[in-house]
Amino acid sequence: MRKIIILICFILACVLFISCSKKGTKIENQNEKAENSVPLRIVSLSPAATEILFAISAQDKIVARTDLCDYPKEAEKIPSVGGFDGKLFSLENIISFKPDFVYLTAVMHTHLIEPLKSYGIRVYVSNAQSLDDILKEIEDIAEITGYKENGKICVENIRSEFLQAEREVKDLNLDKPLSVYWEVWSSPYMSVGSGSFLNELIQKAGLHNIFGEMPQAYPAVSEESIIALNPDIIIFPSDSNLSEVDFSNRNSWKNISAVKNNRIYCIDADLMTRPGPRIGKASLSLSELAKNAVEKR
The 10s digit of each residue's pLDDT in 233-251 is 999 999 888 999 999 999 9
Helix, strand, coil percent content, the chain, rounded in steps of 5: 50, 15, 40
**CB of 247 within 8 A of CB of 186?**
no
34-41 average pLDDT score: 78
Q: Over pLDDT 90: what percentage of the chain?
A: 76
In terms of Cα–Cα distance, which of 204, 201, 200, 266 is closest to 233? 266
Q: Which DSSP string do the residues of 15-57 spell out, in sequence order?
A: HHHHHTS-TT---GGG--TT-SSPPSSEEE--HHHHHHHHHTT
The amino acid occupying position 69 is: C
Asked whether residue 22 carries a pLDDT value surpassing 60, the answer given is: no
Q: Architecture of 23-146 per CATH?
A: 3-Layer(aba) Sandwich (3.40)
Q: pLDDT higher for 178 or 35?
A: 178
Q: Can you tell me the distance from the alpha carbon of 271 to that of 276, in angstroms, rounded to the nearest whole number?
A: 9
**CB of 195 within 8 A of CB of 216?**
yes
167-194 average pLDDT score: 92
Pick the CATH number of 162-295 from 3.30.1360.120, 2.40.10.340, 3.30.360.10, 3.40.50.1980: 3.40.50.1980
Residue range 41-89, pLDDT digits in tens:
999 999 999 999 999 999 999 999 999 999 999 999 999 998 876 566 7
Which of the four pLDDT bands, split at 50, 70 and 90, describes residue 36?
Answer: low
Q: For residue 169, what pLDDT is reported?
A: 87
Q: For residue 27, what pLDDT is reported?
A: 38
Q: Can you tell me the distance from the alpha carbon of 38 to that of 291, in angstroms, rounded to the nearest whole number?
A: 45
Which of the four pLDDT bands, split at 50, 70 and 90, describes residue 199?
Answer: very high
Q: Over pLDDT 70: what percentage of the chain?
A: 86
Residue 108 DSSP class? T
**CB of 129 within 8 A of CB of 24?**
yes
In terms of Cα–Cα distance, which of 238, 239, 244 is closest to 263? 244
252-278 average pLDDT score: 96
Domain with CATH 3.40.50.1980 in the chain: 23-146, 162-295
CA distances 295 to 5, 232, 269, 282, Å, are 36, 12, 24, 20
Asked whether residue 29 carries a pLDDT value surpassing 60, the answer given is: no
pTM above 0.75, yes or no: yes
Let me know the angle formed at the C-alpha of 72 by 47 and 142, rounded to the nearest 5 degrees. 65
Which of the four pLDDT bands, split at 50, 70 and 90, describes residue 24?
Answer: very low
Mean pLDDT for the chain overall = 88
